[in-house]
């Protein structure tokens, strides 16, 4: 139960960090220093990671986990904002896809590598030190980067807030499912009676594939649109949950839940992050912060929903409930109107207003008469 409280504390401060950072880093006096502040955050994340093994009491661990959640919330939520500052909005989709691909590789090899470090001395401390050191290295590399200053004509509001809401739903559902991976692992372990190490690959594959296919998602978003990609991903994810409900063995779960389900998650997740960054300029930080805060809310709700669903409806019924949640990603996808279409609508509205000028002048003259 104590470990569950740590997850809740980390998730709560994670959500606060995402929204708070979006508000603060969008301030005019702060925006010019945004990349440098992000550098400091990376150093702090690395430092806190190294401090976690040094905590002596549960209270100290709660405080450190809360601080870690706050910092990691800022770090994760503002990635796309920093990419735009460094590379420009036009390169966001391709660069973000490549970024999460590398993140997926780390997620795939991270747990086995941590287990290897534990086998060396019987403790997990070295894994925290390696993770913290990688953050230090990343911050040092970022210090050498040049900042791109550009002004792009974007809605910066209007339908953009529906984009934020759609992205929030994607983060809520996908992020909540990821945070429920531990519970699903236990249900897989109980049903198929395989070893713990083998069973853990089911959820690990799904999370890794979701991120490693980032470049493919970037290509599909450029080829079609973020809206179409998210809707297709929602349908794939829904079908894979239903297939997993009837999986006869764990190896089938690896295919349905892990590989195909991870592909569906990738299609539904990556575009929801990318499109918010290109729909806003002056309010990009707060927009991305609000959208990604769905992960924090999903961390609270999803584990409870998953536990209740599997408790009352069993293994197969529980996955049917998850399929019902996944299909709601279609609604989120429908809100993701392509930016090019939105620009055409904005131009049309301006032309309509221009056409109204003669009518306005006539009415004004009539009033004067």
CATH code where residue 59 lies: 1.20.1250.20
The whole-number pLDDT of residue 351 equals: 46
Rounded CA gap, 35 and 167, in Å?
A: 24
Q: Is 368 among the domain residues?
A: no
Among 139, 11, 161, 163, smallest CA distance to 82 is for 139
Percent over 90 (pLDDT), the chain: 26
Q: Is 369 among the domain residues?
A: no
Instruction: Of 74-83, 109-118, 304-313, give the range with the top mean pLDDT.
Output: 304-313
The whole-number pLDDT of residue 259 equals: 94
Q: Is 6 among the domain residues?
A: yes
Percent over 70 (pLDDT), the chain: 86
Query: What is the span of the domain harbouring residue 283?
Result: 2-337
Q: How far is CA 19 from CA 22, 193, 255, in A?
A: 5, 42, 36
Rounded CA gap, 352 and 261, in Å?
A: 46
For 315-337, write each residue's pLDDT tens digit.
999 999 999 999 999 999 998 88
For 135-178, write each residue's pLDDT tens digit.
888 888 887 776 655 555 666 678 889 999 999 999 999 988 88
Name the domain count of the chain: 1
DSSP assignment letter at 258: I
Q: Is 352 among the domain residues?
A: no
């Amino acid at each position: 139960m104590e470990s569950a409280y740590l997850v809740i504390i980390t998730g709560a401060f994670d959500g606060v960090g995402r929204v708070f950072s979006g508000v603060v880093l969008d301030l005019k006096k702060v925006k010019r220093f945004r990349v440098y502040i992000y550098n400091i955050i990376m150093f702090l994340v690395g430092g806190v990671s190294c401090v976690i093994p040094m905590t002596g009491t549960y209270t100290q661990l709660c405080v450190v986990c809360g601080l870690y959640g706050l910092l990691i919330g800022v770090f994760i939520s503002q990635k796309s904002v920093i990419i735009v500052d460094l590379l420009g909005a036009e390169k966001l989709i391709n660069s973000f896809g490549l970024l999460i691909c590398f993140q997926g590789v780390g997620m795939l090899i991270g747990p086995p590598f941590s287990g290897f470090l534990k086998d060396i001395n019987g403790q997990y401390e070295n894994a925290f030190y390696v993770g913290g050191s990688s953050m230090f290295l990343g911050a040092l590399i970022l210090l050498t980067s040049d900042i791109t200053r550009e002004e792009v004509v974007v809605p910066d509001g209007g339908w953009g807030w529906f984009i934020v809401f759609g992205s929030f739903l994607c983060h809520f559902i996908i992020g909540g499912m990821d945070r429920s991976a531990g519970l699903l692992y236990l249900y897989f372990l109980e049903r198929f009676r395989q070893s713990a190490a083998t069973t853990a690959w089911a959820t690990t594959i799904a999370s890794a594939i979701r991120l490693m296919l980032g470049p493919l998602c970037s290509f599909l978003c450029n080829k079609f649109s973020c809206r179409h990609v998210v809707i297709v991903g929602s349908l794939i994810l829904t079908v894979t949950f239903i297939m997993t409900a009837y999986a006869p063995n764990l190896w089938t779960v690896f295919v349905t839940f892990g590989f195909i389900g991870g592909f569906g998650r990738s299609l539904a997740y990556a575009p929801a992050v990318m499109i918010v960054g290109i729909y806003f300029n002056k309010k990009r930080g707060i927009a991305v912060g609000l959208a990604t805060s769905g992960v924090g809310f999903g961390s609270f709700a999803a584990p409870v929903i998953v536990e209740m669903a599997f408790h009352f409806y069993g293994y197969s019924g529980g996955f049917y409930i998850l399929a019902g949640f996944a299909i709601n990603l279609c609604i989120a996808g429908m809100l993701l109107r392509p930016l090019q279409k939105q620009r055409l609508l904005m131009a049309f509205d301006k032309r309509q207003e221009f056409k109204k000028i003669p009518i306005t002048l006539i009415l004004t003259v009539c009033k004067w008469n």
